[in-house]
Amino acid sequence: MLDIAEELNRWVEQGRDFAVATVVAVGGSAPRQPGAALAVDSDGTAIGSVSGGCVEGAVYDLCQQALEDGESVLERFGYSDEDAFAVGLTCGGIIDILVTPVRADCAARPVLAAALAAAASGEAAAVARITAGPAELVGRALLVRSDADAAHEGGLGGHPELDRTVAGEARAMLDAGRTGTVEIGEDGSRCGQPLTILVESSVPPPRMIVFGAIDFASALVKVGTFLGYRVTVCDARPVFATAARFPDADEIVVEWPHKYLERTEVDGRTVLCVLTHDAKFDVPLLELALRLPVAYVGAMGSRRTHLERNDRLREVGVSELELTRLRSPIGLDLGARTPEETALSIAAEIVANRRGGSGVSLTGAHTPIHHDGSRRPAGRIGSVA
């Protein structure tokens, strides 16, 4: 739901009633991941997507029904071997979708509205919703914010201990920038039945820091922005690190790369792309970068440059284990030559690293297409209306 927060927040501000269908679990080669959403308002306007087109029509109808009767419903969609034309996912996957009405009289509306407003404004926040359990609890919501001292908002059914437990789980997932489900056993649920909770996290965009204001960097900035990163370009040479040369960058920093990296904020989603291939910049920068808890560190250069750079890094105390984190020469083997092709090669490696892909051609391969969506859906499936 939070993936379409800006549009939904406008609907809330306009006082519209709507229903939102959210992917809560996936199995097999499903096209969208948990958190993907489609919403329909009382006028029939639709935004978002839950399947890339496979089951949108059926989900649209479920949203309209939820708007009429005010009831939440949990529905499973999957490929039908008996009838390939039946409503289902022809890619062979399975998705579970929770459809929740968000009407003026909906008890969860204030919590969902607050979550949408937070996400739309770029604030780090997570919303937890019951997706499986007693019918009267499905759709109940709880909001937590990034401030560990902030109280949670809303509730999951009048059980403070359950709210505290889920708030703790949600805050942990928010800290990691993750969206997924949490299973609460019968004893922990305080309602006599097990519960499945979907936690959706909305966090600021991950960072891509590009070191080296060269022509390849300009192309990489464009691709990084396209992939949703907040992109910073850093170079110690003011004549090259200019807004005119990098109009797509969110930030341009004129500073020695390692000094900037020392003082800037990074996290487990940050990617660092070192394109300078100049030892006086690369060695102190990589010495620091390879010891930071970031997602990706890549460095440009020929294989000879790579070997010489590794020797210099060893000389300053970088361990063999730390060197294994370095992606160098940077990028996947696409035969790239132009800056744009090279940027695509680097971006492809970043995506493969993030998603667990192999980087090999899917044609003739026996690897899964969606590496992070192979887990079977959990929880009770079927109507809860």
Residue 84: band (very low, low, confident or very high) from pLDDT cuts 50, 70, 90: very low
Whether residue 213 sits in one domain with residue 315: yes
Which residues touch 93 (CB under 8 Å, ≥6 apart)?
26, 27, 28, 29, 30, 31, 78, 79, 370, 373
Rounded-to-integer distance, Cα 60 and Cα 75, Å = 12
Q: Please tell me the predicted confidence (pLDDT) of residue 29.
A: 60
CA distances to 73, 93, 141, 384 from 187, rounded to whole Å, are: 24, 32, 20, 21
Band of residue 377 on the pLDDT scale cut at 50, 70, 90: very low
Per residue in 197-236, pLDDT (tens digit) is: 889 888 888 999 999 999 999 999 999 999 999 999 999 9
Are 149 and 250 within one domain?
no
- Whether the per-residue pLDDT at 286 is higher than 60: the answer is yes
What's the pLDDT tens digit per position in 121-140?
888 889 888 888 888 788 78
Distance of alpha carbon 86 from alpha carbon 147, whole angstroms: 46
What is residue 333's predicted lDDT score, i.e. its pLDDT? 92
CATH number of residue 333's parent domain: 3.40.50.720
Q: Specify if 382 maps to a domain.
A: no
The answer to whether residues 124 and 173 belong to one domain is yes
Residue 382: pLDDT above 70? no
225 and 195 within one domain: no
- Asked if 76 contacts 95 with a C-beta cutoff of 8 angstroms, the reply is yes
Domain shared by 195 and 239, yes or no: no
Work out the pLDDT band at 90, boundaries 50, 70, 90.
low
Residue 369 confidence (pLDDT): 61
Q: Containing domain of residue 332, as a range?
A: 207-355
| Residue 365 located in a structural domain | no
Residues 194 and 265 in one domain: no
Q: How many CA atoms lie within 13 A of 39 on its CB side?
A: 25
Nearest Cα residue to 139 out of 202, 55, 75, 197:
197
Asked whether residue 256 carries a pLDDT value surpassing 70, the answer given is yes
User: Quick check: pTM over 0.85?
Assistant: no
| Confidence check: pLDDT of 194 > 80 | yes
The H-or-E segment that residue 310 falls in is helix 303-315
Given a cut of 90, whether residue 78 has pLDDT beyond it is: no
pLDDT value, residue 378: 33
DSSP state string for 323-367: HTTEE-S-S--S---SHHHHHHHHHHHHHHHHHT---S-STT--S
Q: Is pLDDT at 253 greater than 90 in this prediction?
A: yes
What pLDDT does 243 receive? 95
When the pLDDT of each residue in the chain is averaged and rounded to a whole number, the result is 84
Please give the Cα distance from 30 to 143 (Å, whole number): 27
* Residue that is last in its domain, among 81, 104, 127: 104
Shared domain check, 198 and 159 = yes
Most distant CA atoms of the chain, gap in Å = 70
- Of 172, 204, 236, the residue that ends a domain is 204
What pLDDT digit, counting tens, does each position of 293-330 carry?
Answer: 999 999 998 899 999 999 999 999 999 999 999 999 99
Residue 171 and residue 148 in contact, taking contact as beta carbons nearer than 8 Å: yes
Q: How far apart are CA 199 and CA 142, in angstroms?
A: 9
Residue 360 burial by Cβ neighbours in a 10 Å radius (0-12, 13-18, 19+): exposed
Q: Which has the minimum average pLDDT: 6-20, 79-93, 274-288, 326-340?
A: 79-93
Judge if 349 and 224 occupy the same domain. yes
More confident residue, 287 or 110: 287
